[in-house]
Amino acid sequence: MPDQLTHFVDAELSPEADLEAVLAAWHGATLRLEQTHEALRDEVRRLTDELEIKNRELARKNRLADLGQIASHIAHEVRNNLVPVSLYLSLLRRRVSEDSGACDILDKVDAGVLALDTTVNDLLHFTAQRDPHWSHVPLKPLVDDVCSSLAPQLAAQGIEVEANIPKGMSLSADREMLRRAILNIALNALDAMPDGGQLIITAVATPSGVELEIADTGPGLSDEAQRRAFEPFFSTKSTGTGLGLAIVYRVAEVHGGEIAAANCPEGGAAFTLRFPLEALEAAA
């Protein structure tokens, strides 16, 4: 630093410069060096924080890759054994069709097999590494299709649906992946409103792309649920795999978008799928 300051003073001051000018020049040079040092320190801090975030994300992806291989193997093995079990149950039901007690027991067994099959499907969707099959996907008919498939459950729980999707809005996306993501969020919303409520689905075009929000009027999310919502196998329910929102996260990721969870100001939870502008423009 002294050499730099001496050089600066020699370059800027004439031999006739008085002591006050020398001190002022020295002070100015010192101040500039301090500012440069502070700027460099801020930049190092920013790059360090960025590196830590990227390292955590890389570690997360590596854990998910290992977990995915294990889960995929288990899911396929379980499914292979479920097929004959379902067949034998069907044959057994025919033999005891006139025995109401036996049929009641078979109904319980069927329910258990169905729950296990649902778990296997979740695992297979979670571990699927295929690329999206891109197509032109009109958003409103897709949302209507999801709501229609849920109609019996919506009616049974007394849940009203409000869908605000602009006519003609379309995305370049994998239709089945997108449908699965919307369905998973909607099912979580239904679980949060066992005694009725509202399911509000809204889509808007923004300067950066498209936002699809699915909100409910349930109790909302705890701080831990907001923080860990998209972690595989995390669940606040006593049943289920905890993979529903992890699948949504992956769907958003492979589409170049993102998913966010928050509580609504008026109560309830809201999950927002954000897709980049290219997704809207490619389908326009």
Instruction: Give the pTM.
Output: 0.64
For residues 42 and 77, the answer to whether their CB atoms sit within 8 Å is no
151 in the same domain as 15: no
On the question of pLDDT at 5 being above 50, the answer is: no
The DSSP string of 151-214 is HHHHHHHTEEEEEE--TT-EEEE-HHHHHHHHHHHHHHHHHH-TT-EEEEEEEEEETTEEEEEE
pLDDT in the model for residue 15? 53
144 in the same domain as 102: no
Provide the mean pLDDT of the chain: 83
172 in the same domain as 103: no
Amino acid present at 34:
E
**182: CATH:** 3.30.565.10
The residue from 129, 147, 173 where one domain ends is 129
For residues 263 and 220, the answer to whether their CB atoms sit within 8 Å is yes
Provide, rounded to the nearest whole percent, the portion of the chain with pLDDT above 70: 84
Q: What is the domain range of residue 190?
A: 135-283
Q: Distance from first CA to last CA of the chain, Å, rounded? A: 60
Q: Render pLDDT for 157-196 as a digit per residue (tens, 0 to 9).
A: 999 999 999 989 999 999 989 998 999 999 999 999 999 9
Q: Render pLDDT for 31-57 as a digit per residue (tens, 0 to 9).
A: 888 888 888 888 888 888 888 888 877
105 in the same domain as 26: yes
109 in the same domain as 5: yes
Ranked by mean pLDDT, which of 23-32, 147-156, 196-205 comes out on top?
A: 196-205
149 in the same domain as 277: yes
Contacts for 196 with CB less than 8 Å, ≥ 6 apart:
157, 158, 159
Per-state percent for the chain, helix, strand, coil, to nearest 5: 60, 15, 20
208 in the same domain as 125: no
- Number of separate domains in the chain: 2
Tokens of 18: 């008085």
211 in the same domain as 186: yes
pLDDT in the model for residue 283? 44
Q: Render pLDDT for 227-250 as a digit per residue (tens, 0 to 9).
A: 999 888 788 876 667 788 988 998
- Ramachandran bin of 256, using left for φ above 0, alpha for ψ from -120 to 50, beta for the remaining angles: left
For residues 260 and 279, the answer to whether their CB atoms sit within 8 Å is no
141 in the same domain as 215: yes
146 in the same domain as 100: no
d(CA 161, CA 154): 8
d(CA 284, CA 278): 10
Q: Render pLDDT for 110-149 as a digit per residue (tens, 0 to 9).
A: 777 777 777 777 776 666 667 888 999 999 999 999 999 9
On the question of pLDDT at 101 being above 50, the answer is: yes
The residue from 94, 129, 164 where one domain ends is 129
28 in the same domain as 158: no
What value, to the nearest 5°, has the Cα angle with vertex 20 and ends 15 and 21? 50
Contacts for 11 with CB less than 8 Å, ≥ 6 apart:
none
d(CA 200, CA 216): 6
The residue from 112, 129, 146 where one domain ends is 129
- 100-127 vs 244-254: helix axis angle to the nearest 10? 30
Report residue 220's pLDDT band, with 50, 70 and 90 as the boundaries: very high
pLDDT in the model for residue 284? 44
113 in the same domain as 169: no
d(CA 87, CA 85): 5
Which range among 6-10, 83-87, 130-134, 136-140 shows the weakest confidence by mean pLDDT?
Answer: 6-10
Instruction: Tell whether the torsion through CA atoms of 265, 247, 186 and 229 is positive or negative.
Output: negative
